[in-house]
Amino acid sequence: MKILGIETSCDETSAAVVENGISIISNIVYSQVEIHKSYNGVVPEIASRNHLIKMLEVLDMALRDVPLSDIDAVAVTNGPGLIGSLLVGLSTAKGLALSLAKPLIPVNHVEAHMYAPHLFNMIDFPYIGLVASGGHTLLYMCSGYDSLELIGTTVDDAVGEAYDKVAKLLGLGYPGGPLIDKLAREGNPDIPEFSDMPRLLPDTERDRYNFSYSGLKTAIAYRLGRIRNTDAAKKDIAAAFQKSAIELLCRKTKNALNDFNVKRLAVSGGVAANSLLREEILKLKYEGFEVYTAPAEYCSDNAAMVAGRGYQDYKAGRIGNLRTDAYSRLSVIKKGKR
Ligand code: KG4
Ligand code: ZN
């Protein structure tokens, strides 16, 4: 079964064709980063206008080797995300599904991210799923595609959001994640000015699987005043920030693996491209855990993960129609089972 996937939830316009939920036939991603750079973040109105400009070109490219007549269903992200941006992809998908007389499959963006590792690995259930992106930091107990239990989340900023904010403080530009990641590799996280960094969100019963990042951003802002703002200092600050940010992700994830007695971990979302996080989670293999992720370009927003997840949603009978709406917030999935 060939599914055409469409993703426009934030600032990537993407279309892909995936067969049977695993074989990626095409995956075209047009990133608007260059457009939003000068604003230090995504401007929603500009994002939706540019999705509109690029959508058909991206679709044409994704369908270059697959005639439309071969498409069996159209999967599309309908939330959570920026409403104006989502509507561009959703309307395009509705038009295509209607004209082809094929099913429309609405896909949850977070569930699509979680599917990315499945595109490249045979992963048995159950596993712990960590989603770390610009909009979300989430821990799930995954017992099946349709049995996802949210066990932890951020109490304030998402980890990717913290990367972007600290990059702004350092005057590095947008998006901050890859820029800080690169600088951090050349810096020393253990310089004395940062020796009093707070240990983020202790493991109390309430917050055992939760994350918090706004305090880290503030801690960095305070300490910035204490050191000279040279290029060398920026590298050390980036390294100190990255060490704390990733330590928290790994600590809470390990809490979940141990408490739920699960031996498998899958990591997804834009921050899963982070070099230190990838290094740290790979170490878990030496402790007997199976660790899965996707290549870096499939960790950030792309339509292949939407088409893949759409295949599972289709099999579960979750079909949309012309009334299918877009939604902005994750609160549609409450803590607990899907
Ligand atoms: O999943 P994604 O593409 O979009 C959302 O759904 O949010 O994630 C984007 C986020 C941005 O905050 C970006 O700074 C972060 O992922 N990111 C990284 C890295 N690459 C992207 N964060 C840390 N290290 C990276 N290498
Ligand atoms: Zn995303």
pLDDT by 10s per residue, the chain, length 338: 999 999 999 999 999 999 999 999 999 999 999 999 888 889 999 999 999 999 999 999 999 999 999 999 999 999 999 999 999 999 999 999 999 999 999 999 999 999 999 999 999 999 999 999 999 999 999 999 999 999 999 999 999 999 999 999 999 988 899 999 999 999 999 988 777 777 788 899 999 999 999 999 998 988 887 777 788 889 999 999 999 999 999 999 999 999 999 999 999 999 999 999 999 999 999 999 999 999 999 999 999 999 999 999 999 999 999 999 999 987 644 555 55
In this structure, the answer to whether residues 35 and 179 fall within a common structural domain is no
Tell me the whole-structure pTM to 2 decimals: 0.95
* Number of the ligand 1 atom closest to the C-alpha atom of 158: 12
Is the CB of residue 283 less than 8 Å from the CB of residue 255? no
Is 337 part of a structural domain of the chain? Answer: no
pLDDT of res. 196: 77
- What is the pLDDT, as a whole number, of residue 331? 64
Q: Which ligand 1 atom is at minimum distance from the Cα of 301?
A: 3
Please report the atom of ligand 1 found closest to the CA of residue 12: 3
Nearest residue by C-alpha to atom 7 in ligand 1: 134
Same-domain status, 289 and 303: no
CATH code assigned at 93: 3.30.420.40
322 CA → ligand 1 middle, Å: 32
**pLDDT score of 332:** 45
- Cα of 315 to ligand 2 centre, how many Å? 23
Pocket of ligand 1 (CB under 6 A): 10, 133-135, 160, 163-164, 175-178, 181, 269-271, 273-274, 300-301
Closest-CA residue, ligand 1 atom 16, reads 270
pLDDT of residue 49: 98
Q: In sequence order, what are the residues at sequence separation of 6 or more whose Cβ sits closer than 8 angstroms to the Cβ of residue 281?
A: 250, 253, 265, 267, 291, 293
Nearest Cα residue to atom 13 of ligand 1:
177
174 CA closest ligand 1 atom index: 14
Nearest CA to ligand 1 atom 23: 177
In a domain, 239, yes or no: yes
Instruction: For residue 331, tell me if it sits in a domain.
Output: no
How many whole angstroms from 269 Cα to the centroid of ligand 1?
7
CA 160 – ligand 1 centroid, Å: 5
Residue nearest atom 22 in ligand 1 by C-alpha distance: 177
Domain shared by 133 and 258, yes or no: yes
Residue 328 located in a structural domain: no
Of the listed ligands, the closest to the CA of 174 is 1
Same structural domain for residues 278 and 305?
Answer: no
Question: How many domains does one find in the chain?
Answer: 2
Q: Is residue 199 part of a domain?
A: yes
Same domain, 88 and 130: no
Claim to verify: residue 224 and residue 310 sit in the same structural domain: no
Same domain? 153 vs 222: yes
105 and 129 housed in the same domain: no
Whether 164 and 181 map to the same domain: the answer is yes
Task: Give residue 254's domain range.
Answer: 125-293
Whether 327 is in a domain gets the answer no
> Rounded to the nearest whole angstrom, what is the distance from the C-alpha of residue 17 to the centroid of ligand 1?
23
Ligand nearest to the CA of 175: 1
**Is the residue at 281 inside a domain?**
yes
Ligand 1 atom 3: residue of nearest CA: 300
Q: Are residues 107 and 155 in the same domain?
A: no
135 Cα to the center of ligand 2, angstroms: 7
Residue 287 sits in the same domain as residue 145 = yes
For residues 24 and 290, what is the distance between their CA atoms, to the nearest angstrom?
Answer: 23
Report the alpha-carbon distance of residue 172 to residue 57 in Å, rounded: 31
Task: Determine the atom of ligand 1 nearest the C-alpha atom of 273.
Answer: 26
Same domain flag for 226 and 287 = yes
Residue 162's pLDDT is 96
Residue 139: inside a domain: yes
